Amino acid sequence: MTSDTLYAQALEQLVDFNFDEKVANVFPDMIQRSVPGYASIVAMTGILAAEFYQKDSYCYDLGCSLGAASLSMARAIEDETLHIIAVDNSSAMLEKAQHLLLLSKRATKRATKRIPDVPENENAHYNESVIELICDDINDIKISNASVVVMNFTLQFIAPEQRAKLLQNIYQGMKKDGILILSEKLNYNDKSQQQLLIDMHHFFKKANGYSQLEISQKRQTLENVLIPETLEQHKERLNRAGFKQVEQWFQCFNFSSFIAIK
Ligand code: GEK
C-alpha cells in the first residue's frame, strides 16, 4: 500500500482538497489512517447489504472512490444476477478502481498471493463483473430499482443546499424495505463537545503516524470542501425524505454511520 505523505512537507500554498491522481494513489492508506472505524464500516456494509438486498434490484455505491464498499457487497451478496452501480466523479479514482478490480479478478481466479493495495479479503470468491463503474456527479444520476444504496463519507462533500434533493432522489429510486447506509463525519453544536471529539480524532491520526503539520495542513485544505453536519440534522433530513426508520448503528469519535429503511 502506498503511504500517504501528501502533507508531510510544509506547502507554500494550500489549495482546496480534491480527489486527483495524487490522492487516488495513496487513498487506501489515507482513508484507513484518517477515518476511525473505516474498515468496520466497509465490512458491515457487506453484511447489511446481504440481508437487505432484494432479488432483481440494484445496489448503488455513491462516491465509491476505489470501490471498497462495492467489493464488500459483491463478496457478501450471493446472487448470480447481482448488479452494483458504483459512481464517482473523480476519473482518477475510477481509473484506479478499475485497475484494482482487474487485479482482484485475476487474484480471484488464481486465489494465490495477496496483491498490495487490494482491500483485505479480496481473494474471497465473488463475481466481480457485477460492479459497473460510472464516472458522474451523484447529483445528476437517476437512481432506480435500488434495494441497497451506500453513501459512505460522500454526502459531506456535497454542497449543503443540494443534500436534501439528493436524499429525496435516492429515496424515490429505492424499493420498499430497501436500505440506505449513510456514513459521515459529524459536527457538534456544543463547543466543548465539538472540541473533544475533534481532539480525539486528532489523537487517532497522530497514533497512525501523521505529524502535527500533516494534520493541520490537511485540515485547512478540507475546511471549505468537507462540511460536516450534526447527528440531528442527518436524522431529520432522512426522516423528511420519507424513510420510515432511521438508526445510527456506528460511531467512533466524530465518525458515524446510519441505516435508513424505506
Ligand atoms: C469508500 N465511499 O472508500 N459525485 C460523485 N462523487 C463525488 C462527488 C459527487 N458530486 N463529490 C465527491 N465525490 C468511499 C470513500 S471518499 C471520502 C468516499 C473521503 C467522491 C470523491 O471523488 C471521493 O472519491 C468520494 O466521493 C469521497 O468507502 O475521502 O473522505
Ligand 1 and 204: CB distance under 6 A = no
| Ligand 1 atom at shortest distance from the alpha carbon of 30 | 29
For 118, half-sphere exposure in the C-beta direction (CA atoms, 13 angstrom radius) is: 20
- Res. 129 pLDDT band, cuts 50 70 90: low
Among 6-10, 120-124, 254-258, top mean pLDDT goes to: 254-258
Contact 228, 52 (CB under 8 A): no
Pick the more confident residue, 202 or 6. 202
pLDDT tens-digit profile of 59-109? 999 999 999 999 999 999 999 899 999 999 999 999 999 988 877 765 554
Residue of 35, 154, 180, 218 to test ligand 1 pocket, by largest number of atoms within 8 Å of CB: 154
- How much of the chain exceeds pLDDT 70, in percent? 90
pLDDT tens-digit profile of 133-147? 999 999 999 999 999
| Ligand 1 atom at shortest distance from the alpha carbon of 139 | 10
- Res. 110 pLDDT band, cuts 50 70 90: very low
Contact 177, 261 (CB under 8 A): yes
* Helix axes 68-76 and 38-52, enclosed angle (nearest 10): 40
Q: Using the mean position of ligand 1's atoms as its centre, give its distance from the Cα of residue 252 in Å.
A: 20
